[in-house]
Amino acid sequence: MSAICTSLLDDAGASGKGSEGVQEDRTKKMEPAIDRSRLAAIVEGSDDAIISKTLDGYITSWNAGATRMFGYTAQDMIGRSVTSIIPEHLLSEEQFILDALKSGIRIDHFDSVRVAKDGRLVDVSLTVSPIRDEAGNVIGASKIARDITARRRSEVALKAAVEAARRAQQEAENANRAKTEFLSVMSHEIRTPLTGISGFADLLKHTTKLTRKQQRYVDLMQSANSVLLKVVDNILDFAKVESGRLELEPRPFSLPTLVRDATAIGAVSASSKKLRVRYDVEPGIAEWRMGDEPRLRQILHNLLDNAVKFTEAGTITLDVRQEKSPDGLGRIRFAVTDTGIGIATDRQPLLFRHFSQADSSVSRRYGGTGLGLAICKRLVELMDGEIGIVSDLGNGATVWFTAHLPDAPQVVLEAKPDTPANRVPPRKARILVVDDIDTNREILEAFLDEGGFSAHSVGSGSEALVALGGEHYDLVLMDIQMPVMDGIATTKRIRGLQPPLRDIPIIAVSGNVLPFHVRSFLAAGMDDHIGKPISREVLNKRVHRWLPQLHSAEVAKEETPAPFDERNWSVLAKIIGKERANAIVDAFANELRRAFKSTIENARHEAHDLINCAGLLRFERLLDACRELAASGTDDLHLLQIKLEQVRMAQAIAIQTLERRNSPKKSHRKLLQRPRKPVLTVAVSDQ
């Protein structure tokens, strides 16, 4: 030890430096060796394979990570060509890497495959950097290979899962389409004979020589027909709900009126069992609500029908209350309570499932498809509500549901539909009926004859073309499913004729009633649709709607505008004040005079803007016509032009009515000088 110290001191003395200087020199000499040692430790400890090679591909270094990844030791691989671990079909990649290296290009995250000693294929991500000499020339390459086999397997598994999900979705969509198509075919096949049953029953009922017993038989026939049609409608509703095609159409409606009408209809069926049906609406509850009234009515009818079905004696009550929900939204709670057979607690969850009833014996005794409550549940969910039941076996039941029905201003009045069925056109319209089924033609001809029309029928599309070419007709009722040339093909042929034949109104008459069917009819050039079984009332209403050319000018002359109904203005005046009410009336009159003088597209916007004021002031014909035009989604210019003419007719009558009202000098005339837009905004805000 002393010798070493003496030697170090001698070295220091010889160099003329102190011990600190000597230590600094030695440290500087050792630094490259330390760096190399540290780098070697990092390389050897890496999980990645770190390999160096010459430009001609021979391996010069091989770390422990490469041994772990590929199974070869450094002794096995140093001096061997790197191609020994590259699959034959990927050798071209090595040439690509070599060309890049010669250009001094670094390659990052290049995914490839290598072969391990045991024959395994290893997915790797390569980073390749050029190695240069002191002069800067590329003399080799350093490769870092990261094992991405697990990642690749996950990617492959994910891709397979995505593909499997895509196939499953496609299969589900195909199955859903097949189901929908099956339901539509079944609907058509059922509705077609129902047309004969309901049509002839209706004609028979209106004959004058029926005995009381025969009249009862007809009533029972119509009742059975109605039940069967309800089953078909339930199945179609189920199909719409399942496919997501069922959408609500919220509009203002009177809640007490809905409740009163629903219980009145329920009381009719309850009367045969001597059941009492009553309703109770919470005092102070707002009358006017915004919601889909027909769907609400459907739910209530279903619950009341079930209550009547399962109750032999006692009372059925419909209770309506305002309910404050946990989410802060005010909801209306409806509850139908009966004194019937009740339902065991463990069977209650089955009630709201598709095609399910609480007990199979119930189906045998009381009938039913088990769809009604399931559809009600989906409708209630669309109304942002819940449905449930409280019952004990033998002690009756209460089926309740909630619905979010926001308040609607009372002044927004629903239009009462025109009753064109009671209006006979100035001349007898000639209507061509096209249907391949004899009974359908006979029923339609009878209905049309009794409605004051002249009907002629043919049994095929080709016969329809011949008939239209030989005589004048005002309208065509077109069946869809006919042999050789169906209704859609026949319509397209008619629309390809020269005017005026190509402009004749065509109404589809079909058992295909699903929304996509109706859209296809309109797309083919038809103007409207009537579903089978055919209702006399609906038929007359639709026929009158599409015969504007028979009474457009004459009706405008014949219908003397009724004096303005001051009662409507009085209701409005009580709510917003006389001055503002008068201003709205005058502004509405001015808007009417300016409207419908431009393009059809502008007319649709103008019709939409006039809807609310027309409803406020009870110009019901104008309201109906504006709604028809504003809601029209068709690009058929002929159809739009007809609707525009109907609006203009109603517009002329409304303007005459308002001018008669204002003919006496009124103090509010000066309000016309005020800006109109803010005045109309008051009405629009109440929509």
Span 632-668, pLDDT tens digits:
765 556 667 677 777 887 888 888 778 776 654 443 3
Weakest-pLDDT range from 284-298, 357-371, 460-474, 513-527: 357-371
Task: Pick the range with the lowest mean pLDDT from 77-86, 336-345, 448-457, 658-667.
Answer: 658-667
- What secondary structure does DSSP assign to 603-665, as a single string? HHHHHHHHHHHHHHTT-HHHHHHHHHHHT-----HHHHHHHHHHHHHHHHHHHHHHHHHHSS-
Q: Considering only CA atoms, give the Rg of the chain.
A: 42
Neighbours of 278 (CB within 10 A): 11
Residues 127 and 35 both lie in one domain? no
Label residue 59 by pLDDT band (50, 70, 90). Answer: very high
Q: What mean pLDDT do residues 4-15 have?
A: 38
Q: Examine residue 561 and state whether it is found in any structural domain, yes or no.
A: no
628: closest CA among 618, 640, 636, 613?
Answer: 640
The structural domain count of the chain equals 6
For the ranges 127-131, 393-397, 575-579, 614-618, which has the lowest average pLDDT?
575-579
Distance CA 453, CA 439 (A): 19
Return the minimum-mean-pLDDT range out of 95-109, 138-152, 360-374, 513-527. 360-374
Residues 371 and 234: beta-carbon distance below 8 Å: yes
Q: Which residue has the tokens 């009462």?
A: 416
Show the CA angle centred on residue 206, arms to residues 201 and 207, nearest 5°: 100
303 and 397 share one domain: yes
- Same-domain status, 398 and 424: no
Contact between 455 and 443 (Cβ < 8 Å): no
359 C-beta neighbours (distance < 10 Å), count = 14
**Highest mean pLDDT out of 339-343, 350-354, 486-490, 518-522:** 486-490
Tokens in use for 254? Answer: 């009177």
One domain for residues 395 and 268: yes
Looking at the fold, whether 657 and 538 belong to one and the same domain comes out as: no
Q: Is the pLDDT of residue 626 over 80?
A: yes
Clarify whether residues 467 and 583 are in a common domain: no
* Domain assignment present for 79: yes
Q: Domain span at residue 208?
A: 171-242
Q: Identify the burial level of 432 via C-beta atoms within 10 angstroms of its C-beta, where 0-12 means exposed, 13-18 middle and 19 or more buried.
A: buried
Please check whether residues 425 and 547 belong to one and the same domain: yes
Q: Answer yes or no: do 578 and 658 share one domain.
A: yes
Share of the chain above pLDDT 90, in %: 14
Segment 607-625 mean pLDDT:
79
* Residue 13 pLDDT: 43
Residue 164 lies in a domain: no
User: For position 550, what pLDDT does the model report?
Assistant: 53
pLDDT at 336: 94
74 Cβ contact list (under 8 Å, min separation 6):
61, 62, 63, 66, 67
Structure tokens that stand for 646 in this block: 């109907």
User: Does 157 reside within a domain?
Assistant: no
Q: Flag whether pLDDT at 198 surpasses 70.
A: yes
Whether residues 384 and 301 share a domain: the answer is yes
- Percent pLDDT > 70 in the chain is 75
CATH number assigned to the domain comprising residue 230:
1.10.287.130
φ, ψ for residue 173, nearest 5 deg: -65, -40
CB–CB of 286/407 below 8 Å? yes
- Binning pLDDT at 50, 70 and 90, where does residue 328 land? low
Kindly report the average pLDDT of the chain as a whole number.
76
Characterize 141-171 residue by residue with b for buried, 16 or more Cβ atoms within 10 angstroms of its Cβ, and e for exposed: bbbbbbbbeeebeeeeeeeeeeeeeeeeeee
- Residues with Cβ within 8 Å of 282's Cβ and at least 6 positions away in sequence, in order, are 320, 321, 322
Name beta bridge partners: 455.
Answer: 431
396 and 338 Cβ atoms separated by less than 8 Å = yes
Query: What pLDDT, in 10s, does the model give residues 243-285?
Result: 666 677 787 888 888 888 888 878 877 887 888 889 999 988 8
Q: Is a pLDDT exceeding 80 seen at residue 399? A: yes
Amino acid 477: pLDDT: 94
Decide which of 114, 147, 180 is a domain's last residue: 147
Query: Can you give the pLDDT at residue 505?
Result: 93
pLDDT band at 585 (very low <50, low <70, confident <90, very high): confident
Report the CATH number at residue 486.
3.40.50.2300
Q: Is 484 found in the same domain as 609?
A: no
Confidence (pLDDT) at 681: 25
